[in-house]
Structure 1
Amino acid sequence: MINASVVSSLLSKKFAQSATSINKNVLIPSIREQEVANHLAELLNSIIDSHSFLIETETSLDHVLNEIEQDDANEPDDSGLDSNFNETGDDDDSAFLQKFSLDYMKQVIEYYDEKDPLTGQRRRSSKSVKHRFRRVKHSIYLSRFRSYIEKGGTQQQKMEILNNYVYHKFEHAWELFLPVHDLDLRRWALNKAQEELINDFVASEKWLLNFKIKYTIGSRKVTKVSVLSPLTIKR
């Protein structure tokens, strides 16, 4: 027969050995500490009254706060780009556009598109743009920038739909107390990307990290205790 007092005493001694558990300034237990104690007492009584028990642990995703380093998700800015870049207008669009950030392209187009409030005409020529933005070497850059920005807007909208979908799936599983892992987030994202025709989306580590930071999702260890009572055995 298991004695609950003996188990409680052993636990007290075990945790007393931990320096982090000692706080001489706390004389009155907090409400949270009382809740934990009551919960553990119920669990201990269930184990003592049972014929046998099984403890299972697994890691699942959950809502967390301040547990993911924000710095890991920062995208490189213009400082990492080649300021001496000297492209011609005949190069491949994909390789060409990778030389510039989306923000830089937007600044160029906004500067070029600014209109005179009196005449309604564009205030600046492409030559003025090239003088203001030294990395814009040819007028054709403007049309390429504009096209990329328009596509980027559409892509951003699709990614927002994808992220909302994945988060909704996560929330639904979380509300049902179902375990969720990184693989599940990626699988949901890839399925939605296929549906939205986001062909270049691969659910990379970078996307996963950014997604978890945005929605404050992290890992938690879940412990499940199953007890088998004498009544269950008789049945």
Structure 2
Amino acid sequence: MNLVNIAKHLLYLPEREFSNEGSRTSADEIVASEQLFEVLKSFKDSRFSELDVYQTLDFDDEYDETTDKEEGTDEEESLDDTDDFDENQQQNIYNHFTLEEMEEIVEWVDQHPNYKFTTIKHRFQKVKHPIYITRFREYIRKNGTRFEKLEKIKQFMWDEFYVKRAVEKEAVHDTDLELFAIQKARELKWDNFIVSESFLTRFKKKNRISSRRYNKIITRASSIRKVCTLEGI
């Protein structure tokens, strides 16, 4: 391929698409052009090129959990305070929360031990009283086998994700995370385990995983074949 012809047409495209504003070239623009030139050189001696655009889940180094920045320092509140709590509400708790919801709430509370109850209540509006947390812990303890299996599934998902992205450099999607979870659940004899959208969302948020888009140029070098004749044989 003729790189000069490619560069000329590449210049024509932005001039046609955008106004040709005369301005001094900045340092950032020079760096960008040098990077583009390196890409352009990859087309030399190639007969076929394509742009592979793909999305993958990746480690989010700039993760900012803004919703978790509320401070709980205004007053002391105990999550074990049982004053003014009607014990008849205990069964009502179990009727309005799934085990997965209880696990999510307790996990979040344990991650933020200094947060006051008003902050917890604001985040989880169905939690009406501090003793709810105590009841959740009791219920989870009685169903510990399920909880332990869930933790093993999450750990397996993370291990597989890390290997795929950090070691093998492969693209990973939500469907892959779902397959990892189901694979481990089957291994643990949890045949009716279902990967919900909320489960995946919480897993990605906890492990700071986000979706990113990548562009990759694929070129194939032209083969140079020698022509042989039968003359002189």
Normalising by structure 1, what TM-score? 0.54
The 3-state SS of whatever aligns with 1:62 is strand
Which one has the bigger helix percentage?
A: 1
Which amino acid in the other structure matches residue 57 of structure 2? Answer: L
Q: Is 1:226 the equivalent of 2:219? A: yes
Q: Give yes or no for contact 1:51–1:229 (8 Å, CA) kept in 2.
A: yes
Report the Cα offset of residue 93 of structure 1. Answer: 8.0
Q: % of aligned pairs identical?
A: 22
CA distance in structure 1 between the aligned counterparts of 2:38 and 2:152, rounded to whole angstroms: 41
Q: CA deviation at 1:196?
A: 3.9
CA contact (8 A) 1:190 1:203 kept: yes
For residues 1-235 of structure 1, the aligned pairs below 5 Å read 2-16=1-15, 24=23, 27-29=26-28, 33=32, 36-45=35-44, 49-65=45-61, 88=88, 94-95=94-95, 97=97, 102=105, 145=136, 147-151=138-142, 158-174=149-165, 175-196=167-188, 201-213=193-205, 214-231=207-224
Cα distance, 1:162 vs. partner? Answer: 2.4
Q: Give the partner amino acid of 1:215.
A: R
Is the 8 Å Cα contact of residues 46 and 219 (structure 2) preserved in structure 1? no
- The whole-number CA distance in structure 2 between the counterparts of 1:231 and 1:180 is 38
- Secondary structure at the residue paired with 1:187? helix
From the superposition, tell whether residues 29 and 9 of structure 1 become closer, same or farther in structure 2 (CA, over 3 Å): farther
Paired residue total? 186
Q: Alignment RMSD, CA only? A: 4.8
Aligned partner of residue 230 in structure 1, secondary structure: coil
Task: Tell me if the contact between 1:54 and 1:227 (Cα under 8 Å) persists in the aligned partners.
Answer: no
Asked whether the 8 Å contact 2:57–2:211 carries over to 1, the reply is: yes
Whole-angstrom distance in 1 between the partners of 2:133 and 2:6: 75
| TM-score where L is the length of structure 2 | 0.55
Unaligned runs of 5+ in 2: 68-84, 110-127, 228-233
What CA deviation, in whole Å up to 9, does each residue of 1:119-160 have, x standing for no partner?
A: xxxxxxxxxxxxxx9797xxxx99965531424776555444
Mapped partners of 1:65, 1:94: distance in 2: 38
AA paired with 1:225?
I
Structure 1: tracts of 5 or more residues without a match: 72-84, 107-132
Distance 1:155 1:36, change over 3 A: farther
